[in-house]
Each structure stands twice: as C-alpha cells, then as structure tokens.
Structure 1
C-alpha cells in the first residue's frame, strides 16, 4: 500500500483482535483490578503471588530514591520492586495514581495489553513489508496466538512483553526519521522497566539498526536511557547474586521449535531437552509454516546487521551445550568467569524469540512479495485458522491454571489470632530467613494484609550470603532468649524450633500447625533496613 494511502484501521483492528484473543483464552475474570483471588490461589504457582506481594508492599510505602526501592518487602533482604518482577513501569504508574484510582492488581490489564500490543506491532511491521490490510490484521492475530506468548502469560507475566521485540523489529523495517534515535531510547527505557531478559534483545536490535545507519553517536543515548531506567527501578541496589552457574542448563534444543509439547495437537510429539524452560519454543503449526515462508522474501544486502545479531542471540539460546532431541551433541568449554556472567541470563532458550518473530514477519513479507498484498492476506488468514486449530490443548491448559476464582480469598493462616498478633507486631520475621522456602507465601500475604514489613520473600535475585547471615543472626538471638522486641517470629523448620526451645521455651505458641513467638510488647518501630547505607550512586 503506498504511504499516502496508509490508514490506521488495520493496525487498530489487529490490536483489538489481539486483545480479544487473550480475553477468550483467559476469560474476563482476570481483568477487574479488584479481583486478586486468581493471583493468590496458588493454582498457577508461586510467581503471581510474588508479583502481587511486590506491588502490595511497594504501593503502601512512601516514595523513595531511587523510586524502585521496596524495603518493607524483605527488610534486610529487600531490594526493589524490580526484583519482585512486578513490572516497575506499571508499578510506578499505579502507585502515582493510587490516591485517585486504587488498583489492587494490574496484571489482568497487562495480559490484555500484551495481546493488543503484540498484534499492533506485528501489523505495523507487516505493513512495512508490503502486506495489505487483511494481511496486517491476520498476522497480528497470529502473533498474539503464538505459544511463545501464551506460555509466558500463563505465569511469567512480565515476559509477556514480547511486543517489545516486535516493536524493535518494526523500528528496523520502518523508514528512517529524525526521531528514530529517540524512539529507540524510549523503547530501551520501557524495556528496562518491564523485564531484564528482554532488554538485551531490544538493545541488540538497536545495535543492528545503528550499525546499518552508521549512527554511532547514538551510543550514549540508547544504552544510557536503559541504564537510567534500570537505576530508577532499583536494579543496581543488589550488588551480589546476579551471576550463577546455570548457563547451558536451560538452553534451546535444536528441535525445540518443532516440539509441540503441551501446546499443539497436529504435529507428532518429539523429544527435546528436559528442563524448566523446555516446551517453550514451539511456534504453532501456523507459525512454523509462516516462518518457512521467509524463504520467499528476497535477500537484501542491508539486512546483514540484523542477521548477525539474530544469529548471535540464537547461538546464545542454544548455548555451548548443543542438544538435539534431548541428547548432548557438543559441549564447548568456556571459562568459568564467562559462564558465571552468562548465568545472569541462565534461561537462555528465551533468546530464540527475536529470530522466531523475525522469521514469521519475514514470512509475511515473503507471502506479500510472491502473492501480492491481497492474496497474502487470505493466506495469512488461513494460517491463523490453522494456528487456532493446532493450539486447542493450549486453551485447555490455560483454563486449568486460570479457573474461575473468587474475587478475594481468605488468608491461608486462617486462625483469627494471626491477624491480632500481626496487628500488634512492628514486623514479621520468618525464621530462618531465606528466599522462598516453606511458609513464605502464607506469612508474606499475612504481613501485606496487616501492613507490616517482613523478611518472608520470593525475589528473582537475592544475595545468598546476606540471607544466610541474617538467618544465622536471628537464630542466635532466639537461642540466647533475646528476640527483637515487637517482632512476630514465625518458625518455618526444625532448626528454628530448636533455637526457640533453647532460649524461649515459655513463649512458644502454635496456630494452624505453625510454631511462632508472639511479639514482646510494647512494639517499638520496625527495625532499620539499612538502605540509606546501601544505596548505589545514580
């Protein structure tokens, strides 16, 4: 379609279709902001509980600097709303709006927005690749119906921001303008405020575009915008705990894109790698056919930078441990220091996403080039229908994890005495301190409901040494019979119970099968968290 005849209704129609797809699969019950039961039921696992807790403590706390600090969630172990995976971009927005429009949860709105934005940017990219109106709408619907997206919106909500990758690909194919550097800077900053795993993908796409345009003067602007956003979100407040030894353990099997796993129904089941990220790279049968259509698009010399960064991210996804059908084909020795650095992005299979989306978009462009804009639209509509038919198991899977749930759920620690003790306490400790572990959900939700700080946490990254030191310090105080005044201590294991029996046998109580030490009145102010001493420079 000539630029002068471009209209906005096809991208808008695609966005509406993408939102409708999410609503049809998840149901409208997740959207109302006052409905938190579906997040706290535990049906999906601990992650939605983590997101809600990070937001609940953050919204009830005063604004700090940097604004992402969240000291009441974790106390000495706390870091920021960033590490609670609570999508800092939305947390900042809804905290600012809280006095005017209280929102108990915004993840239902986020799910729908991800479907809409996924389809919108896919449609905009297909427009640049020569697709007509129907092609834009159908391609947008197919991208919104991708198992790559559905899988992540089934629990890892922030990783549903895959539309950021599509936005980067759209910027690659969009005609150059004076505002292009600012578009990349805005995209990089938004990505940094959504999820750190997607940020390197977007920065790699920007690097390809800057390489093609020889726009090296943008180097301070775009990465600088991302770093500033990370600082605002509280990313740098955690000094230790980023790197791990996990790289190469959650890599992409070479057959993973063909492995239908629990999502598809039309292809035969095949074996691929077995790890927590397995079964997450399938494109759907419609998506696979569309990706294959990329061969119909003529190669252009200027595409080398994009091909290079996509190939590099694919290699990172496959890792140094090359798997085929669940069997190790090759292992390339890497220095331990490099493995530890790569471990910060240990779930490397996710770095298949940019290549997958680029191939599908190029496939839409290939159909437009071979069939013409109108007939390509009908072909894409047929592929959308094939995708919808193939993914029937996916709909049942999501329905299982997101069943109709009451708007609000009662506390799992149901004895009314818990509320009374929490109201008396200045803080609630779960002994010994650790990231996750037994009872963290029950105690953290109790603390959030009572408006009390707690060290019962689940964070994406923590400092293991700090957690171990805190756990031992609290155990030592209990053994000595000197618990912190005003603090409710909940004992999560035998070591904590043994320490309490040694130093405070007369103060032990049991509620709902859980041992505790009631706060010693009167309760003074909550303990100092030490963030003033640990804040990093801007």
Structure 2
C-alpha cells in the first residue's frame, strides 16, 4: 500500500521485492515503539529516577544547577514574567529557563508545588518521556520512508541508543529532548502537515532548551524551502504558519524569562566545537573502538555514531548502486539534507581541528565571534545530521537488499551498536550508590545549622557565576530557604554581574557588608575582610571553605560552638 507523503520513494530502483514494499505499511508500529522506549529507559537508567524523592543522583555538576533552579523557582512566588526566579541569585537572579530547569515541566509542577514533597524532582519522568518519544518519532519517520515495521523498530532502537542522546542524560538533562529533532524531521516528511503542527512543536521546544529550538527552527526553515519545489507553497497558509510559529516562540520564551538578561552572549565559541573526529571518537563510550585525544573542551562535540553505524555504512557502500542515491537527493529531501549539513558545518566552528591538530581558523570579525558565543557549544549542532545518517543507511540497506538479508544485517549492526556502547550504558544506570533523599555535602559542622535561622541570605565572595563554592552554598541555602547569590546559571546578565562585583569589592574596602547575610569566601577575600572584622563577627575556616558571619559570634557562643579564627597567611 502506498504511503501518502513520500512519492519519490514509491518506486524501487529494482523490481524485485524488498523491505520497502512490505504490505503492512498502512499504520506505524506505535505500540512496539512505546514499549521500546520504556524498556530502553529501564535498561539505561533503571527505575530509581522515577521516585520523585530520589535526588541523590542529581547532586553534581550541571544536574545540580538544573535541579536547584527548579527548587528555587518552586519556592518563589509567581512573578512577571511567570518564569522569573528571584531567589536564585539575588541581584544576579534571572529565570527558570536560564538555569536550564525545563520550563515545560517546571511551570505545571509549580502550580501544584504545595502538594508535592519538598525536594520533588521531575527529571526521571522527563527522561522516561524522552526515551518514549525518541522511539515513537523514529518509528513515524521510518513509516514516512516506507521502511518495513521490523526495520522501523530497528531504527527506533538505533535512535534511543544514539550516543549523542545518551550523553545528555547525566549532564544537560533538558538537552535530552532529542525527540524534538526527530519530531521536526517527521513533520518535514509528513504531507499534508496541519497548520498548527509546526507552531505547536516550536512552542514546545521553546520551553525545553534554546539549542534544540535553533535546530528545530532550522528544520522548519528547510520545510519552507522544500515547498515551492513541490508546488505546495500557499502564500496565505505560509504567512499564517510563520505568524503562529513566531508568536508561539516569542510568547513561550518571554514567559520562561529568557529575555531577563541584558545579553545572551557568553564565551568559548571555537572551544566547545565538534572535532572532525567527533563522529568516530567514542570518548565516554570507549569500549571496542579506541578513543582519540582531543581538546578538553570538545566533549560537547563528541557525536560518536557507534560501531553498528560503522558496520551499516560498510555494507551500504559495498552494495551501493548510484541510482539508489537519487531518491534521497530529490527536491523534496534536498533542503532537509542541506540544512542538516549546514548545521554540522557550524558545529565545527571557525576553528577546525582534526584530533589534536588545529587545521585552520577562518578569520571572522570580533563582533561576529562575540555574537556566535550565544551558541558557544556549536558541537551540538551535528545532532540532526547524525539522525539523518541512521535513516539514510537503513533506507538504502532496505532498497539494496531483499527483506530478509536487509533485516539480518540491520539486526547484526544493532547488536554491534549495543555491545559497543555497553560501558557507557552501565555508567548511566542509577544504582544504589546514587539513590537517596538528600545530597552529599561538605558543610557538616553544626555551626551552619546554628547560624542559618538568624540570617536572611547566603552570599559568596568573590561574586562569580559558578564560583568554586556555589554548589555547597546553594544546597545549604535551599535547604534553609535562604536566597543566595552563590549560583551557577546558564546565562547571567553581565551588567548585573559587574554591579554585584562592585558591591562586593566596595564592602571589602569599607566594611559595608550585608549584615543579614552569611558568607562563604575564598582566602584572598578573607584576607581583605580580616582588618574590617567587628568583635561579634566570625571569620573562620570550616568544612573546606571560609565562613564569614557578621554578628555571628554571640549566636555560636549561645550554641556552645567554638571555631578557630581565620589566620592570614602570606600568599
């Protein structure tokens, strides 16, 4: 049976039966796809993340930033815009979106926060949803490409065990929403597409993560490029779709608070890139294929495709007939391919490297480099092409071999893929050592609990984004319901940061400290504070940092706690 939306793939190059002509193509294998997503999640992550009070696995690095951002947002009263999060950063505060705390989940859960456990986490449910939708949209894409149901399910397996997707689960959890890329590819292939479909996807991805929005937006643009070639460009409908899509993006980004910073510029464009070895360098997943030394910042561009994809590539190239490539490069698909390739080229940045060798640097004006730092982690932009490679290989395999041999080769390649990734998969499992209802912390002295009820804020000196002590101080602050400027945020208003630094520097010159705040300071700041201490002030090394508590000595004396005072040591 012919499938609407893929006319150029209706006629096989060779007349003999192949996997693409299987008769049971009227409906995609949705239920098996959902089961694949659920089972894959359990294999990779286990069931522990689905306990909403299990937070121990979230206590490190970026996972801590995302989770703290949600807790602060849930704790704060609703603001304007709704995504404002004033407790997370004090003068540096911005929004739930800029701590990458997944507004798509943060907004609805904040509505019922009063009925939730105090340390509720939704990240396990988000990741389960990502696995399910990753598998579902893979099957829907395969259906549009007229792959047989077994081959479609193999495509789903390759997508849920895509290394670039798996790598995000323990790092940038909102970026695990790779299913939005697959949804965009499916909408591109689907004909006809309802007027509301692209605007809905764009609004949804706007509530997930900015990098994913850029990729989906680019694929949306590719769909517009393809329409004139197909005689499908209807001006009024196009204007309506453009208006709805743009409006949806703007409203969601504003609501999430993405515009609360004066500038989205950052640093590091050309560092967090993809190396030319990125697709073949296993890095975190190194097990069978050896790793390749690269720049330490290039982990963002590790886009390993896996040993199974290598095997599929070899078989497809060995059996390739040039005529089989033509349907994949016809006008309907060409804009999709060109946009994905363009994003992949951008992932290399203007500084191109092969392994540890810097090949060349494209001269760019400094203003442009500064602008591009908004998307400093350019290495992520390879993701759409990575998925297109999977579907292109399975489509070519199905066209070049008969059904049974094609399915056998695909199964063997999938087995290779899973075997090759087992080291990484094991490391991603949330076992007993990462299960608990609290976080590990170095702040174990009873002095912290004694002081906390007498202060209204927690501060850090020097004032920085992702200061060395941010994680310990933020955990202490959130557990005692004290707002803090010891934070880690994805983007921070540079003018606010400069102003906060000036206030901190002034205080260390003239003693105008925030008397309602308890401070965590470094040794250089402590040396500056020491001459300004009053008789009731506390400045003491404790639990790996230096505590400064204005007026804190009587509180500690009343609690029977004695701390050794800070003694300046010449640097």
Stretch moving more, 14-23 or 435-444: 14-23
- Counterpart for residue 45 of structure 2: 26
8 Å Cα contact 1:15-1:140 kept in structure 2: no
Structure 1 stretches lacking a partner, 5+ long: 523-538
Which one has the largest radius of gyration?
2
Whole-Å Cα distance in 1 between the matches of residues 508 and 134 of structure 2? 52
- Counterpart for residue 532 of structure 1: none
Match of 1:337 among 348, 359, 367: 367
8 Å Cα contact 2:28-2:143 kept in structure 1: no
- Counterpart for residue 17 of structure 1: 36
Q: Offset at 1:10?
A: 1.9
Count of aligned positions? 516
Q: Offset at 1:255?
A: 2.5
Match of 2:250 among 222, 227, 248: 227
1:486 aligns with 2:502: no
Stretch moving more, 4-13 or 470-479: 4-13
Stretch moving more, 98-107 or 513-522: 513-522
Instruction: Describe the superposition over 1:256-283 as per-residue Cα deviations: whole angstroms up to 9, x where unpaired.
Output: 2112223143334445555342661111
> Relative to 1, partners in 2 of residues 1:7 and 1:61: Cα closer, same or farther, differing over 3 Å?
farther
8 Å Cα contact 2:466-2:488 kept in structure 1: yes
1:35 aligns with 2:46: no
> Relative to 1, partners in 2 of residues 1:92 and 1:397: Cα closer, same or farther, differing over 3 Å?
same
8 Å Cα contact 1:314-1:355 kept in structure 2: yes
Stretch moving more, 396-405 or 197-206: 396-405
Q: How does 1:364-403 map to 2 (within 5 A)?
A: 364-371=394-401, 376-399=406-429, 403=433
Q: Offset at 1:361?
A: 1.4
8 Å Cα contact 1:55-1:81 kept in structure 2: yes
- Counterpart for residue 481 of structure 2: 451
SS of the counterpart of 1:430?
strand
1:212 aligns with 2:235: no
How big is the alpha-carbon RMSD for the aligned residues of Structure 1 and Structure 2? 2.7
Q: How does 1:418-437 map to 2 (within 5 A)?
A: 418-437=448-467
Match of 1:257 among 271, 274, 279: 279
Stretch moving more, 340-349 or 488-497: 488-497
Match of 1:105 among 117, 121, 133: 121
1:467 aligns with 2:489: no
Q: Offset at 1:377?
A: 4.3
Relative to the length of structure 2, the TM-score reads: 0.84
Whole-Å Cα distance in 2 between the matches of residues 98 and 7 of structure 1? 44
8 Å Cα contact 1:72-1:454 kept in structure 2: yes
Match of 2:217 among 180, 183, 203: 203
SS of the counterpart of 1:328?
strand
Whole-Å Cα distance in 2 between the matches of residues 56 and 62 of structure 1? 12
Whole-Å Cα distance in 1 between the matches of residues 494 and 390 of structure 2? 41
- Counterpart for residue 305 of structure 1: 335
SS of the counterpart of 2:41?
helix
- Counterpart for residue 567 of structure 2: none
SS of the counterpart of 1:395?
helix
1:82 aligns with 2:97: yes
Structure 2 stretches lacking a partner, 5+ long: 4-22, 228-232, 555-571
8 Å Cα contact 2:274-2:301 kept in structure 1: no
Q: How does 1:57-72 map to 2 (within 5 A)?
A: 57-72=72-87
Whole-Å Cα distance in 1 between the matches of residues 254 and 510 of structure 2? 40
Match of 2:205 among 184, 187, 191: 191
- Counterpart for residue 289 of structure 2: 267
Instruction: Describe the superposition over 1:122-171 as per-residue Cα deviations: whole angstroms up to 9, x where unpaired.
Output: 11100111112212222111110111111111211111111111111111
- Counterpart for residue 155 of structure 1: 171
Whole-Å Cα distance in 2 between the matches of residues 20 and 320 of structure 1? 41
- Counterpart for residue 96 of structure 1: 111
1:512 aligns with 2:527: no
Whole-Å Cα distance in 2 between the matches of residues 402 and 357 of structure 1? 33
Stretch moving more, 188-197 or 326-335: 326-335
> Relative to 1, partners in 2 of residues 1:376 and 1:505: Cα closer, same or farther, differing over 3 Å?
farther
Whole-Å Cα distance in 1 between the matches of residues 80 and 449 of structure 2? 32
1:127 aligns with 2:156: no
